[in-house]
Structures are given as structure tokens and as C-alpha cells.
Amino acid sequence: MSINTYFQKLDINSEDSQGNLSFKTYNLSSVLNDKIAVSLQENDRIKIYSLEEVRGEQKVTISGFVSEPKTVFWSQKLSIFDLIFQSVSYDELEFQSKVLTSRLDLKRFDEQTGLYKISQYSIDKLEDLKTTYLMPKDEVVLYTKSVSEDISPTFRVLGKVPNSGEYSLGNSIYVEDAILMAGGFLEDAEKTYVNINRLDRDLETGSYSKLEVYQVDMDYLLGITKSPSNPYILQNKDIVTVFAPIRAFEQPVISVRGEVKYPQNIVLDNDQVSMKKIIDLAGGFTTNSNIKSSYIVRDSLKLFLDLDKTLANNSTFLIDNDILVISSNLDPVKTLGGLINPTIFSWDKGKKAKYYIKKSGGTKKRIESKVVLQANGKSEKIGLFKNPTVYPGAQIIITEKPEKIDDGKSKFLDDFVRIFGVVTGALTTIILTKNL
């Protein structure tokens, strides 16, 4: 018999000549020791059980801080340490740094209660692990330090670096090291100091972190010195922010066109370049310039400009790619829309809108609106008491009312008026006749 034979049971199935089945069971050990005599008949079927069939496969399991739960066949003298050693990279530094050494659990099945009993051990006490032997169905559970601490600390570098994002925090990571890990500074970055936010959550005050401005040691960053002069070691969840001055490399270029002596592109050398300086750089106005009609083109749209006021305030609001157009007294005035004779006129200084409307033959009958659209983008209504002064390049736009749609109502009204007029006339005639 094999050592895996189950000796507590032996089954015999018999069938007589009439086809009747019978079943008998015995203790295999008693049969083998001749304590029980068993007589066999022809065609009897004997069933001897293995331990695996009765008890199930003899296995043990390890779970928890392992790459995945692992089940192996049990064998005698298999210790807790043996199972751990064959299931993890025991001597690997990452495992040693992250495993919870103060506790591991051995779960042992109690056949009497059908429950698992938990016994605690420590990885620090290797001798206990090597001399504690496992039983079938045992389960060893490893834990990580994450049950009480963050075992994967990180920090972030944001802003003006090539590779902003989250990084694993090692031992003694200086701010300069973090910047290098993120690819160093971008060209336009402020390289003398950075902001560091350290987690400091306070529910009472509502604060999330504390901000510190750190002076970067470029000598250490470039490897000239072996350590920073004022070392700042990063902690878990720290955020390093690298920033850049606004418009760090920008040199705004604007174009001056129209009635200046030297139309040209002009580079704005600071944020406060005055409009007067820009005009002076372009040589000043020509004798044909007209300030009232001047304007700015930005993103292909005309931007209203009160150049008189801008010059008086010694200010400007020009940005990169703006086009400053100084209009000319030679620009014509146009009349458009519902006029008897829409046309183009040479600008006549001081003349107002109704002057040009009259020169265009006046308006048609059904007029909806009358507007002066000045060259600088400003629009002004023309009305009974409104007659705006017109400047070069302006357009006087007369909008006609749309034609009425005949829906039958107008015909009914016309017929009613006509009939009412006839009746009224007839009544008048009758009254006059009676009075004669």
C-alpha cells in the first residue's frame, strides 16, 4: 500500500447471478491486520481510497504582500520561512523596505470548528519562522508598511520644466535634484528661485499647504558643488513650481501705416510705450493726417480708437501684431443704401451727415434707419435732432424698410377705405340736396 492510502475505509460492491446489487464497507486497517475476514466473490468491485480523495489535496497558500497569491503542495518540514522565501524576492531591497516586518499571520484550519485560527509572527524573528512548520490548508499572510504609512512617497514638479508631473521620492531629494529629474529649466523659466508647497491640511483654518520660496543653488544643480549651500530636502506630497516672467521673450512688433512720414514696423521696447513715442518713431503726422478717423486693426477686426484722448493721456494699449492706421484727409465719404443717388464725395471739413444726404438727392420714402459709420469704427445715428459731423473715410448708410407682403389684410383695408369714402360722399350729397 502507498503512504497516500486512506486506511479507514474499504468499499466492496457485489452483484449476484440474479443481477441484485449489494454494498459493504470495512475498515481497511482491520482487514489488512486480519481482524476482519472478508470473502470476495467473482466480479466484486473493491474501492480503496487515497488521502487526496478523502481529505483533498494537501496544499498551503501565501497571500498579501506578494505579486499574486500562491498555492503550493504541502510537504513535511515545510516552514513559514521556506514558503516566504520561495514566493517573494526575499533579499530584494524594495521588498525589505516595504514589507511590514513586525507582523505576519498564520491562518490554520481547525477541523473541529471549521474555522481558521490566526497566529501572529514577526519577520524580524527568523528562527521562529524557520522552526514553525506548516500544516495542510495553512495560509500565510504578509503585510506592507502601507497599513500605517505611505510606502510609495511622491513629489510633483510643475510649470516651466520639460517634463512636469509626479515623481517617486527617494532619500534626500533636494529641490535641485527634483528640477533635474523633470528635465531642468525651460529657456524662459525664472532660474533663481522656485515655490514649494508642503502639505499642511488644517480643517479649522481651511489651509491646504504652506508656501516657501526657495533660492535655487545653480552651482549644485550644474554639478560644480557637491551639495546645496542651503539644502532643502523634499517630503512626501511636496509640489515644486517653476515659473516664468510674463512675456519673458516677447518683443511686441506693431505696424504703423497711413499718414505718417515713415510708415514702418515698430518694436515696443517696454510695457509703457506711449502713443506719442510711436508716432514720433514713425516721423510724426503728415499734413494730410486725420486723427478722428484713425483706428487699430487687431485680429483682422477694426478696433475703435480715440487717438486725441490717447495722445493726451500719454498712453497706449497696443499689443503684438496690432496695426495702427492713421487715416487721411484724402479718404472719400461714401453714401450708401436708400438714397436717390448714392455716391462718393471728397471730404469737406466740418460738414455733417445731412449735408451729404442732401448732396445724394435725399432719401427714399420708406426708410428704417440712418447711420454714420466713421472710419475709426464708431457709429452714430442720424435723426431729427441728430446730425453728426462726418470725418474722412466715413460711410453714411441709409437702410430702407422691407417691402410689405400682401397677405389680404391690406387689400381689405384699401377696399374698406374706398367703400367708406363712397358712402360718405353719397351721404354728403343727400344732405346737401335736402338743404336746397
Residue 177 contacts by C-beta under 8 Å, 6 or more apart in sequence? none
Rounded to the nearest integer, the mean pLDDT of the chain is 88
pLDDT band at 52 (very low <50, low <70, confident <90, very high): low
What CATH architecture does domain 333-400 belong to?
Roll (3.10)
Write out the three cell numbers for 398. Answer: 441709409
The C-alpha cell 492510502 sits at: 5
Residue 428 scores a pLDDT above 60: no
Residue % of the chain over a pLDDT of 70: 91
Fold type of domain 154-242: Outer membrane lipoprotein wza fold like (3.10.560)
Mean predicted confidence (pLDDT) in 151-161: 93
Most confident of 30-44, 331-345, 415-429: 331-345
| 344 vs 7, residue with greater confidence | 344
Residue 258 contacts by C-beta under 8 Å, 6 or more apart in sequence? 289, 294, 324, 325, 326, 327, 328
Residue 69 contacts by C-beta under 8 Å, 6 or more apart in sequence? 61, 62, 63
**In residues, how long is the chain?**
436
Write out the three cell numbers for 64. Answer: 498579501
Query: Please, which residues bridge with residue 196 across strands?
Result: 212, 240
Q: What is the pLDDT of residues 378-402, one digit of tens each?
A: 999 999 999 999 999 999 999 999 8
Q: Are 354 and 387 in contact (CB under 8 A)?
A: yes
What CATH architecture does domain 253-328 belong to?
Roll (3.10)
The C-alpha cell 389684410 sits at: 409
End-to-end CA distance of the chain: 156
**pLDDT for residue 343:** 96
Residue 436 scores a pLDDT above 50: no
Domain boundaries, the chain: 5-55, 61-147, 154-242, 253-328, 333-400
pLDDT band at 96 (very low <50, low <70, confident <90, very high): confident
Q: What is the pLDDT of residues 270-317, one digit of tens each?
A: 888 999 999 999 999 999 999 999 999 999 999 988 888 888 887 788
**pLDDT for residue 432:** 43
**pLDDT for residue 218:** 96
Identical fold for domains 154-242 and 253-328, yes or no, is: yes
Q: What is the pLDDT of residues 75-94, one digit of tens each?
A: 889 999 999 998 998 888 87
As a whole number of Å, the CA-based R_g of the chain is 50
**pLDDT for residue 433:** 45
| 200 vs 317, residue with greater confidence | 200
Residue % of the chain over a pLDDT of 90: 58
Q: Are 233 and 214 in contact (CB under 8 A)?
A: no
Nearest residue to 139 via CA among 115, 118, 167: 118
pTM: predicted TM-score of the whole model, two decimal places: 0.59
Mean predicted confidence (pLDDT) in 160-168: 96
Mean predicted confidence (pLDDT) in 336-355: 95
Q: What is the pLDDT of residues 217-255, one digit of tens each?
A: 999 999 999 999 999 999 999 999 999 999 888 999 999
pLDDT band at 167 (very low <50, low <70, confident <90, very high): very high
Three-state SS string over the chain comes to CCCCEEEEEEEEEEECCCCCEEEEEECHHHHHCCCCCCCCCCCCEEEEEEHHHHHCCCEEEEEECCCCCEEEECCCCCEHHHHHHHHCCCCCHHHHHHEEEEEEEEEEEECCCCEEEEEEECCCCHHHHHHCECCCCCEEEEEEHHHCCCCCCEEEEEECCCCCEEEECCCCCEHHHHHHHCCCCCCCCCCCEEEEEEEEEECCCCEEEEEEEEECCHHHHCCCCCCCCCCCECCCCCEEEECCCCCCCCCCEEEEEECECCCEEEECCCCCCCHHHHHHHCCCECCCEEEEEEEEEECCEEECCCHHHHHHCCCCCCCCCCEEEEEECCCCEEEEECECCCCEECCCCCCEHHHHHHHCCCECCCEEEEEEECCCCCEEECCCCCCCECCCCCEEEEEECCCCCCCCHHHHHHHHHHHHHHHHHHHHHHHHHHHC
**pLDDT for residue 427:** 53
Write out the three cell numbers for 8. Answer: 479507514
